[in-house]
Structure 1
Amino acid sequence: MRLWTIQPLEVLEIIKQEGEFVCNPNYSDSDFKRAYHWLVKQMDNRGIEHPYGLELPIWAWYKTDWENKKPDLEQEDFSDSRKNLVCIELEINDKDVLLTDFYAWHHVLNDSFLDSSHDEKEWDLQHEWYDALAPEKRQIVKEESWNDIFNITPTQNEWIARGREVQAVFWKITKDMIKGYESVHPCVKSAKA
Structure 2
Amino acid sequence: MQNSKPRVGAPVDETSFPSVSGETVTIGQAKDRWTMLFVYRGRHCPRCKRFLNKLNAVLADWTEVMDVVVVSSDTKEKALADKAEFNWDFELCYGLTEAQMRSLGLYVSDPLSEAETTDRFAEPGAFGLRPDGTLMLVDISNGPAARPDLEELLDGMKFNITNDRPVRGLA
Which range, TM-score by smaller chain?
Answer: under 0.3
| Bigger-Rg structure (1/2) | 1
Higher relative contact order (CA 8 A, sep 6+): 1
Q: TM-score, normalised by structure 2?
A: 0.27
TM-score by length of 1: 0.25
